[in-house]
Structure 1
């Protein structure tokens, strides 16, 4: 499938080399082509959550065959990438994209300043309530460190749980300290972002029209029911890496975030020491621990 998306990767829209670098990296996404029955109750639905007719191959895997990304999907070039309607930079990319290529996207294409500190914030995928005092102290501490140390905040990018609270704090900084910025990178699943095809539409030339369209999307959220495995994107992040393994409505990204943090920590800044990485865990269960290790 050949898709055309605007290549608005350079934050100031002037340097053509950002687009060139991205194209040289041959970033890809994944498409499921070989059907594997999800269950006896859903025999016409694949494990990837797409119907049988959406698969190119007419071959049917044996009943006990386990769906596997490398065996059941193929890679396609020209993934969706550019800017979301909130101005944040994003790219869709295969789940097995090397950390080295992601490093090039972050530093050479998106021109993000190398971090002095990386804070990976992990929490349970459910709504929760902190006491006002605890929430204020906790979030203010994270934001204060991020502003003073050129830190990167790395989350799952979904508007739920602790990430939702972090997003609200980032928005507060935008409103009260407009000259300051926070690098917040959401590492999420392309197939789990609700209405992702609408969110990635090109920016309208008229800013007011952009806001009207954005508000229209938000209003539509109240009408469209969220399916199991879907999450709303937290819209105050500055960048999004949308990992794609060819499935829909599956959150799991394995240990990708941890491997990327470890890789980026090895990059030297102005000093000869590795970049420190701090993992902050708020609630969660077994999946939360899996995301760390």
Structure 2
């Protein structure tokens, strides 16, 4: 299943916002990752909008889309419930914490994993994290993975990661070559 975005919906792209003394931009990309067009503009820290080209399905049956930070919540909700056919949540659980790895004792890990999955499954909640594989987000991801692998007949648990584009590894593989496709046509 391919998911795409409205033509008038755009994604914010970096516009020469890297620090002059560093090779890494504030957006998380290397200076070499910015297009020559952006570098030639000479603008100071800024953002411009362009149609999204990052959408699709990851090999482990996981839909994704890159959206702008100012995309309307109603548009995202319609994408999740109508296009991706997720059941509307009865509860939304946002799990946040520092993006720093930490050790969790085996007993505490089991209690956290079971408790989180039980709450999510019994309430029909959506779990929202920062979308990276570090810190508490890693533990949430592992809890969902373990639950999914061991409970094939149980109710599905929805986990949504919201990560900045600049911190995604191998993001070039997420860019879709298909152009001019409408994700949400209303």
- Would you say same fold, with TM above 0.5? yes
The reply to whether residue 134 of structure 1 matches residue 128 of structure 2 is: no
Unaligned runs of 5+ in 2: 178-186
C-alpha deviation, 1:124, in angstroms? 1.2
Q: Is the 8 A contact 2:56 2:174 kept in 1?
A: no
**Considering only CA atoms, is the larger Rg found in Structure 1 or Structure 2?**
1
Give the aligned CA root-mean-square deviation in angstroms: 2.7
The reply to whether residue 50 of structure 1 matches residue 44 of structure 2 is: no
Residue deviations 1:35-62, cap 9 Å, x none?
A: 35613x34x775444249724253434x
Change (3 A) 1:145 1:157: same
| Residues 1-293 of structure 1 aligned to structure 2 (within 5 Å) | 8-9=2-3, 22-23=5-6, 26-33=8-15, 35-36=16-17, 38-39=19-20, 41-42=21-22, 47-48=26-27, 49-51=30-32, 54-56=35-37, 58-61=40-43, 67=45, 72-180=46-154, 181-198=156-173
| Alignment coverage as a number of residue pairs | 173
Q: Secondary structure at the match of 1:83?
A: strand
Structure-1 separation of matches of 2:54 and 2:34: 23
Q: Is the 8 A contact 1:79 1:93 kept in 2?
A: no
Structure-2 separation of matches of 1:46 and 1:119: 32
TM-score with structure 1 setting the length: 0.52
Structure-2 separation of matches of 1:38 and 1:52: 14
C-alpha deviation, 1:23, in angstroms? 3.4
Q: Is the 8 A contact 1:139 1:169 kept in 2?
A: yes
Change (3 A) 1:53 1:177: closer
Change (3 A) 1:190 1:148: same
Q: Is the 8 A contact 1:116 1:150 kept in 2?
A: yes
